Amino acid sequence: MLKNWVCFSSSSWVVTLGVASLSGLLSSRGAEGVPVRATTNSITMAALAAEVVKFNPEVNYYRDEIGVAKGERRLAGAPANPEVSTTLGQKSVSSGGLNAEGLAWSVSVQQPLEWPGRLSLRKAIANHQIQLAELGLARFQGLIGSRARLLAYQLFSAQEKATAAREVAERLQQLREVLVQRDPTGLTPMLETRIIEATELTLKRRSSEAELLEQSALLELNQLRGAPWTQSIHVEQPKFIFSAAPESARLLAAAQTNNFELQMRRVELEQQGFRVSLAQNENHSGFTVGPYLSQASSGDREQQIGIAFSVPLPLWKGKKGSVETATARQRQAETLMAVAERDVTRQILEKAKVYQTKIAEMASWRPDSVEQFRAAATLADRHYRLGAVPIATYVELQKQYLEAIEALLDTKREALEAAQELQRLTGLDFNGLVLGAPEKPSNASTP
């Protein structure tokens, strides 16, 4: 049960969601629980996240959890069923030497009655269970939506890294082939050829590692969206606008209202208070009342009509232990609430610091940084062939070109991850993901 990735109380991803293990089982609901998806290979990050939330097989689990809670609410609000009892036997009468026998029977209908207030307490507990199930669904949808956006950017980033690494590796391979065809003599040309060959091998390895990261992100995305694992996805280039995060005081205040973890802990605490009241109420025994009819025929006919009343005697099994248990559970809920508040506060402050650091780092970028690095690498390749650039400068430019691309992509990913965590923790949407719009030169770059 994602009551913990989600568990309902866990703040870690997972979502991992012990629920992920349910994908195969829940995906078998197919046509019953999941609408038909339009097949597409090119998709934006926002559309991909919406598709994951819509088609994820595990969402059905949480929707059904709401149905379970509503069913329990109906049971909690219904009174106990009446009880019908009957007896049948033989009656013998002996008096003054005369004996008489006949049939004796009785029937009664009795209704168990709860102590006043008990039924409303059970309804309140069941209503809070519905709230918990609804919060669990909303929390899970938010988690998988955020995870899908992050995976989509990781997929795009891995594709970009792999493309750049292949570009440089192919450039080095072509250069090496040219140098080998020249059959150079002397120590320096031979060493330069070996440097180029070693750099080529290193870059091919980086390309293959990026392709593995791309495949890993693709597989997880397909699992989240309930799609075949072989289906490929091409993520369109995302355009970001990273705005400054609100002040810490505002973030913490928003979390008190919007954070799903705190909302669930608060509902659980209220629910446990009702459980304590119910346990105290159950100290008063319920009773059963109803009419009865009995008749016996043994010479004369006897008939009785009346009202039966019964109440259990609390001799062997008292209710004090139930009250102690419910009270202890309430104290546990209070402790978990306090711990959750501290954890959420720590996470918000940590993520706010990471986010502010990353957007400050991105503010120093030039909008055309990647194109300038690419142009410099191409220029170095051309001039090295002409003998105007030394081998050390040439190789270093090729490596720095790749490292710059990776740094730009990774910084954006880290900023996106921190922003999404802040939004998940506080419910404030201060970060924009703009599709097809130009980026701000002051805080964005081309990747």
- Checking 403-406 for CB contacts under 8 A at 24+ apart, the result is 404/369, 404/370, 404/373, 405/160, 405/161, 405/164, 405/370, 405/373, 405/447, 406/161
Confidence (pLDDT) at 34: 37
Confidence (pLDDT) at 297: 81
What's the CATH code of the domain at 195? 1.20.1600.10
Confidence (pLDDT) at 390: 85
What's the CATH code of the domain at 308? 2.20.200
pLDDT of 37-75, one tens digit each?
A: 444 467 888 888 888 988 888 998 999 999 999 999 998
Looking at per-residue confidence, does 269 or 236 come out higher? 269
Query: In terms of domains, do 106 and 243 share one?
Result: no
Number of domains composing the chain: 2
Confidence (pLDDT) at 183: 61
Give the range among 1-10, 79-88, 410-419 with minimum mean pLDDT. Answer: 1-10
pLDDT of 381-404, one tens digit each?
A: 888 888 788 888 888 888 888 888
Does the pLDDT at position 432 exceed 80? no
Query: In terms of domains, do 128 and 243 share one?
Result: yes
Confidence (pLDDT) at 97: 64
Q: Confirm whether 239 is domain-assigned.
A: yes
Q: Confirm whether 11 is domain-assigned.
A: no
Residue 49's domain spans which residues? 18-30+40-79+118-283+320-434
Does the pLDDT at position 234 exceed 70? yes
Looking at per-residue confidence, does 304 or 17 come out higher? 304
| Spatial distance between the Cα atoms of 135 and 268, rounded to a whole number of angstroms | 11
Confidence (pLDDT) at 212: 92
Confidence (pLDDT) at 41: 63
Q: Confirm whether 2 is domain-assigned.
A: no
The sheet with strand 83-95 has its strands ordered as: 83-95, 98-113, 287-298, 300-310
Q: Are 217 and 159 in contact (CB under 8 A)?
A: no
Confidence (pLDDT) at 6: 37
Does the pLDDT at position 130 exceed 90? yes
pLDDT of 245-286, one tens digit each?
A: 888 999 999 999 999 999 999 999 999 999 999 988 888 888
Q: Confirm whether 102 is domain-assigned.
A: yes
**Quick one: tokens of 240?**
């970001």
Confidence (pLDDT) at 281: 87
Q: Confirm whether 157 is domain-assigned.
A: yes
Kindly report the pTM of this predicted structure.
0.74
Rounded mean pLDDT of the chain? 81
Q: For residue 300, how many C-alpha atoms fall within 13 Å in the half-sphere facing its CB?
A: 6
